Amino acid sequence: MQISEWRKVVGEMVRDHMRSPQMEHYFSVKMNQQRAQLMITQLGLYIRHRRDCWALVSANCPVMAVKQAILRHEFGEVIKDQYSEYGHLHLIIRQAEKLGLSADEVIETKPIASTTATLYAWAWLTHAKSWIEGLSALTVTEWTNDDRLLNDAGGGHSTRMGKRWTEDMGLQWRDMPNFAAHAEADEEHSDMFLPFLSEYATGEKEQLALTAVKESLDLFALYREGVAKAMEEIPLK
């Protein structure tokens, strides 16, 4: 498939995912400070785990151009970019501070069971499967933040959750630096690896890549559903 075809096919898979019962449930949960604390700290674990997964894909990949693209991607996530001088985990810490959490509390967070299961699954997928499958599985998760793709559905994850936090807790966008950054950064990230899928995910590898996309979106639904259920266990008032 050409780049435009990949964008269309994967885009429709992402749109279906964002309309799934699990995601609708996740976005329907009313927020308070304690529920938001759980959500943002589990997200911090997820973001830290991405760094391991991208490293695994790079280790499996013999193509230098792909390795270079991953390093460019990870430099912004881990070191600095226009959104943070300290990497994107710092955005999580800053946002968590608005909820009354310290940096140590964010770093020392323990995963809930569903987070543990899905992070293990992503680690296996990016380690045991081919680099094309791992790349497909990781890049698609960033498409769920792409407002261009999801504008008619209320926006991507960061935009929709940011609106939820504003409506339920009165926070402003300046209080949610992680959401604000990823509503923009993941548009670029969504496009970043499409040329490599077009070039290398050909023949039988095309279906392998699409299957990995589907598996990763299913894991994302499980991860979000687990967070939603855990938040609902916390009294709203």
Domain boundaries defined on the chain? 30-232
Q: What does the pLDDT read at residue 108?
A: 96
167 CB contacts (<8 Å, ≥6 apart)?
A: none
> How large is the average pLDDT for residues 22-42?
97
Domain 30-232 has CATH 1.20.910.10: yes
How far, in Å, CA of 151 to CA of 141, rounded? 17
Structure tokens at 112: 């809930």
Rounded average pLDDT over 176-192? 74
222-234 residue pLDDT tens: 999 999 999 999 9
Q: Which of 155, 139, 164 is nearest to 26 (CA)?
A: 164
Judged on CB neighbours under 10 Å (0-12, 13-18, 19+), 129 is buried
Out of 91-95, 120-124, 193-197, 199-203, pick the least confident.
91-95
Place 173 in a pLDDT band, splitting at 50, 70 and 90: confident
Give the model's pLDDT for residue 87.
73
pLDDT digits 0-9 by tens, 114-169: 999 999 999 999 999 999 999 999 999 999 999 999 999 889 999 999 999 999 99
Question: Which pLDDT score is estimated for 112?
Answer: 98
* Long-range contact set of residues 80-85: C-beta below 8 Å, sequence gap at least 24: 81/185, 83/177, 83/180, 83/181, 83/184, 83/185, 84/177, 84/181
Amino acid in position 46: Y
pTM: 0.93
Residue range 198-211: average pLDDT? 98
Confidence category of residue 178, pLDDT binned at 50, 70, 90: confident
